[in-house]
Amino acid sequence: MSVSVKPVQAASVTQRQWVRRGELLEAARRVFERDGYHAAAVSAIVQAAGLSQGAFYLYFPDKKAIFAALQEEMATLLRRRIYWATRDEGDPGARLEAGLRSYFEFYAEYAEWNRRLQTQGLGIDASFEARQADLNQSLVLAFGPTFVELGVDEPAVAGFALIGMAQQLAYAQRFGSSTPQLSADALAKA
C-alpha cells in the first residue's frame, strides 16, 4: 500500500486504484532490487504484480516514472519511521539515537533498494539526485532541533555529517566485507 499522501494524477482515485498503484510500486521495488534499474523491464514489473501491461500505463508513463514514484514513496516511508520513532522521546540524546536506529532498521529492511538507488538511480538524471538531496535536507532539518538541544553550534553541518555517516555506515554494514556486522541498535549507540 502506498504511504504517500499525494494522489495519483486523477481527480478522484478509488481505493482499488490506490491499492493497484501500491501493488505496482511493491512489484517494481522487487524487480529493481533484483535486476537493477537498467535491466528492469516494465513487463517484469507487471508480471511480478500480476497485472496487465495496460494497467501499468494507467498509473505510470514509463519505467523512469515508476522508479521516481518509488523513490518518493521510500523517502516518505523513511521520514515517517524516523518521526514515529522519535516523536515521544524527551531526552535529545535518546531522540537522536532513536532516529538513527530507525534509519539503520529501514536501511537493513530495504538494503538492496537503497544500494540500487545509490549506485544506479541517482545517475538517471538530475531529478533523481534532487529528490535525494531533498530527502537529506528534510532529515537534516528534522534532526536540527535535537542538535540545538544538545548544544551543537552548527546544527545543519552536524545534520549533514550525521546523515552522510549513517548512509556510509549502513551501506558498509550490508555490502562491505570487512565491516563488523552490528545491529541497528548497536550502530545507533555507536
> pTM for this structure?
0.87
Give the model's pLDDT for residue 71: 95
Q: How far apart are CA 119 and CA 182, in angstroms?
A: 23
Domain assignment present for residue 6? The answer is: no
pLDDT tier at 174 (50, 70, 90 boundaries)? Answer: confident
Using the structure block, give the residue that is written with the C-alpha cell 549513517. 166
Domain assignment present for residue 2? The answer is: no
Mean pLDDT for the stretch of residues 159-181 = 88
Domain assignment present for residue 70? The answer is: yes
CATH number for the domain harbouring residue 137? 1.10.357.10
pLDDT tier at 132 (50, 70, 90 boundaries)? Answer: very high
Give the model's pLDDT for residue 1: 39
What is the distance of C-alpha 49 from the center of its chain?
Answer: 20
Give the model's pLDDT for residue 2: 47
Q: Name the more confident of 57 and 12.
A: 57
Mean pLDDT for the stretch of residues 109-136 = 91
**Closest to 75 in 3D by CA, of 144, 14, 5:** 5
Domain assignment present for residue 9? The answer is: no
Give the CA radius of gyration of the chain. 18
Query: CA dist 109 to 74, 104, 168, Å?
Result: 11, 9, 16
Give the model's pLDDT for residue 190: 87
Domain assignment present for residue 181? The answer is: yes
Give the model's pLDDT for residue 50: 94
The domain of 64 spans 15-189
The number of distinct structural domains making up the chain is 1
pLDDT tier at 159 (50, 70, 90 boundaries)? Answer: very high
Domain assignment present for residue 8? The answer is: no
The whole-chain average pLDDT of the chain stands at 90
Domain assignment present for residue 10? The answer is: no
Domain assignment present for residue 4? The answer is: no
Cβ-proximal residues to 42 (8 Å cutoff; 6+ apart), any chain = 53, 56, 62, 63, 66
Compute how many other C-beta atoms are within 10 angstroms of the C-beta atom of residue 27.
Answer: 20
Q: Name the more confident of 155 and 119.
A: 155
**Closest to 4 in 3D by CA, of 62, 69, 61, 50:** 69
Share of the chain above pLDDT 90, in %: 73
Q: How far apart are CA 172 and CA 164, in angstroms?
A: 12
Mean pLDDT for the stretch of residues 113-128 = 89
Give the model's pLDDT for residue 13: 66
